Amino acid sequence: MQGENHIPPLERAMLEKIKDKVQLVCRSNSPQITDFMDPYQQQVMESYLKTCKEIRFLTYGGYPGAERAKIAVMPGSWTAESVDLGISLMEFKGGSKFKELSHRDYLGASLNLGLKREKLGDIIMGEQGAVIIVDSSIVPFLLQNLTQVNTVPVTLEEIDLEHLVVPEERSKEIKGTVASLRLDTVAGLGFGYSRSKIARVIKADQVKLNWQRANDPSSQVKKGDVISLRGRGRIILENILGESKKGRLRIVVKKVR
């Protein structure tokens, strides 16, 4: 690949993995499935797969619009319906204390069992608990070992993906002005933090820019970029409306939880 020496190490490692899967597909004439990936990883791999004419691919995370998803790489003659991506849905069962638990609690309980993040898809919060999308290979392990979330006793039950109900995404449009498109100024506006406070949060490694670690407050943000803050959801820089009379940039961000 031309200019490959300039590809960041993380991207290079991802590209090597997907190239290996493409080669296996071509040799075996059978599909290869990735683990769950965040949107940034999906974008890197999809960009490469679109250049491979001999194969086709499907990105899916258990429901339309899933944030974390797998990619099925398959021979060109195969159809998406004929591929099993190995995705299962687990529902947490418990008592009224479920309302006290957060997304972080459910994720932490799973990771504390020694599971890798790439085996876990989206965690979908509901009024009475949560469901977690997982790699089918870990279902028996979860059923046997995941018995507590934070201090709340729970049981897990595998349910059909067809029974998944995804709550409508809640979003809020925020308009304001910033001195520049630095990460700290845009994130500060979107999350309602002072610039000094958001700078500390960024340096503490609690912020991601386009799903990548971002600990430099001066990092530049552009239209369409996604900024996520641990425990506070994410914002998207939706529009840049030009300069105000005082020379500040008028921007629109969408906050999503």
**164: pLDDT strictly greater than 80:** yes
The CA distance from 240 to 177, in Å, is: 10
Q: What is the pLDDT of residue 126?
A: 77
Q: What is the pLDDT of residue 96?
A: 63
- Mean pLDDT taken over the chain: 90
pLDDT band at 2 (very low <50, low <70, confident <90, very high): very low
Token pair, residue 13, equals 């490692």
Express the helix, strand and coil content of the chain in percent, nearest 5 each: 35, 35, 35
46 by DSSP, 3-state: which?
Answer: helix
**199: pLDDT strictly greater than 90:** yes
Kindly state which CATH superfamily the domain 171-256 is placed in: RNA-binding S4 domain (3.10.290.10)
Q: Tell me if the domain spanning 87-163 has CATH number 3.90.1150.10.
A: no
- The mean per-residue pLDDT over the stretch 221-247 comes to 91
**1: pLDDT strictly greater than 50:** no
Q: Do residues 88 and 157 touch, judged by C-beta distance below 8 A?
A: no
Q: What is the pLDDT of residue 123?
A: 92
**9: pLDDT strictly greater than 90:** no
Q: What is the pLDDT of residue 256?
A: 83
Tell me the fold of 4-82: Ribosomal Protein S8; Chain: A, domain 1 (3.30.1370)
Q: What is the pLDDT of residue 185?
A: 95
Q: 0.85 exceeded by the pTM? A: no
Question: How is the chain split into domains, by residue range?
Answer: 4-82, 87-163, 171-256
87 by DSSP, 3-state: which?
Answer: strand
**pLDDT tens-digit profile of 15-56?**
999 999 999 999 999 999 999 999 999 999 999 999 998 899
List residues bridging with 84 in a β-sheet: none
**pLDDT tens-digit profile of 125-137?**
877 778 999 999 9
**pLDDT tens-digit profile of 50-105?**
999 889 999 999 998 899 999 999 999 898 888 999 999 999 887 666 667 888 89
Q: What is the pLDDT of residue 4?
A: 53
Q: Do residues 62 and 124 touch, judged by C-beta distance below 8 A?
A: no
